Amino acid sequence: MDPAFERRCSELVARERSGHTAVVLDSLLYVWGGYMVSEIHKYVTRSTELCMNSITPLLRLVFHMAGDVPPSMSGTCGSSLGGNMYIFGGCDDGGQTNQVRMFSVDLTDGQYVWKKILPDSGSAPSHRDKLSCWVYNGKLIYFGGYGHKVLADITSRNRNFILDETSWVDDLFWGWNNEVHVFDPVKGSWAEPQTHGRPPAPRAAHAGATLGRRGYVCGGRVMETRTNDLHCLDLESWTWTEIVPSSAAPVGRSWHSVTAVSESTMFLFGGLSVDCKPMSDGWLFDVETKKWREFEHPYQDKPRYQTDLKGQETKSEPSGQSPENILLFSGHCNDALVFQMQPHPLFRKTSCSDLDMNET
């Protein structure tokens, strides 16, 4: 191991957490942020730590990061573009969504130095967490989330914002939104495209995936409802379409994951059910046939609710505003579940690490 590389590593295994964000780049899994709950208190993990898992061979490292380090956050939306990890949104240890700045870190140079991104034009989205991101045509496209606005913004855009009547402070009003915001890293600009069609209801803690030129939104929470609906946005025409499945669909949920596993298929796993219980079911959805199919896997005893992971966009949903007080749940974990979606190649080299491939 390179000495400079080794100096940045302090631990071999990342600490347990929930509400983190994660991206995949070149078979490496990078994890940042999140929170833990002990019997005494809740705390947010240190923002200077970046955890890396290598799927093959089995390797876990924790790096100490430098530069313009972002504040410690959970519920942040992370995405991978051009070898960089971008983070936006989230909430701090006090449950306040005060993160409207964007940060990035180069995952390819081995330095792991954070950079604060100051936009050259346009207005950033309002404060929010538990949002999602699609990556398309070199841009980061954000959807939804839970956060606060001033009264003037709510009255002028009422259809895009559902007020959480149980939570507001002074002139700040909290709630769920269904807005679409686009960030162009090359131009350093924010934009809010005019969408067409009927958009999904405002929500947070939903799951999203990008297939071709379309961004998909599945489930999520608004007020006391956890949905199982499915929508897609054409990322060129900016037209919304609701997808009505031609088969039985998974039950409503939040904090689940949806990951593109082929050009026409998405994989859904876990989440928090309508009765606030973590789930471990897996489902495949074919966007061409519009059919859901339950997917058998070996992790039925490992329910998860927290983070969506994919190479191009991720999101998570720790919530300081949850009436069920989800943050009191203390069943955090630090393992990564690997789902085999395609048969292994017939010719491959077998090693000891292959025997542990199901869980890294």
By the 10 Å C-beta count (0-12 exposed, 13-18 middle, 19+ buried), 94 is classed as: exposed
**Stretch 44-63: mean pLDDT, rounded?**
74
**Residue 157 included in any domain:** no
**Residue 195 included in any domain:** no
**Stretch 17-21: mean pLDDT, rounded?**
80
**Tens-digit pLDDT profile for residues 263-272:** 999 999 999 9
**Stretch 159-184: mean pLDDT, rounded?**
89
Q: What is the pLDDT of residue 40?
A: 54
**Residue 66 included in any domain:** yes
**Stretch 252-256: mean pLDDT, rounded?**
95
pTM: 0.84
147-151, 154-158, 191-195, range with the lowest pLDDT = 154-158
**Residue 33 included in any domain:** yes
**Tens-digit pLDDT profile for residues 172-183:** 889 999 999 999
Q: What is the pLDDT of residue 288?
A: 98
- The runs of H, that is alpha helices, within the chain are 3-7, 151-156
**Residue 198 included in any domain:** no
Residue 297 above 50 pLDDT? yes
**Residue 28 included in any domain:** yes
List the CATH number of the domain containing 64: 2.120.10.80
Residue 75 above 50 pLDDT? yes
Both tokens of residue 340?
């085999």
Q: How far apart are CA 200 and CA 15, in angstroms?
A: 36
CB 172 within 8 Å of CB 150? yes
Give the CA distances from residue 14 to residues 30, 104, 250, 278, in Å, rounded to whole numbers and listed in that order: 11, 21, 32, 22
Q: How far apart are CA 57 and CA 360, in angstroms?
A: 10
Q: Which domain holds residue 44?
A: 1-117
52-56, 160-164, 253-257, 283-287, range with the lowest pLDDT = 52-56
User: What does the DSSP 8-state code read for residue 352?
Assistant: G
CB 237 within 8 Å of CB 215? no
Average pLDDT, the chain: 81
Q: What is the pLDDT of residue 53?
A: 76
Q: What is the pLDDT of residue 310?
A: 44
**Residue 48 included in any domain:** yes
Q: Which residue has the higher pLDDT, 7 or 164?
A: 164
Q: How far apart are CA 140 and CA 197, in angstroms?
A: 21
CB 114 within 8 Å of CB 105? yes
The pLDDT > 90 percentage for the chain reads 53
Q: What is the pLDDT of residue 41?
A: 54
Structurally, how many domains does the chain consist of?
A: 1
Give the CA distances from residue 41 to residues 44, 323, 328, in Å, rounded to whole numbers and listed in that order: 10, 18, 9
The pLDDT > 70 percentage for the chain reads 75
Reported as a pLDDT band with limits 50, 70 and 90, residue 354 is very low
H or E element at residue 79: strand 77-81
Phi then psi for residue 45, to 5 deg, are -65, 155
Residue 250 above 80 pLDDT? yes
Reported as a pLDDT band with limits 50, 70 and 90, residue 134 is very high
Residue 325 above 50 pLDDT? no
**Tens-digit pLDDT profile for residues 88-100:** 999 887 666 555 6
Residue 139 above 90 pLDDT? yes
Q: What is the pLDDT of residue 101?
A: 82
**Residue 62 included in any domain:** yes
Q: How far apart are CA 72 and CA 17, in angstroms?
A: 13
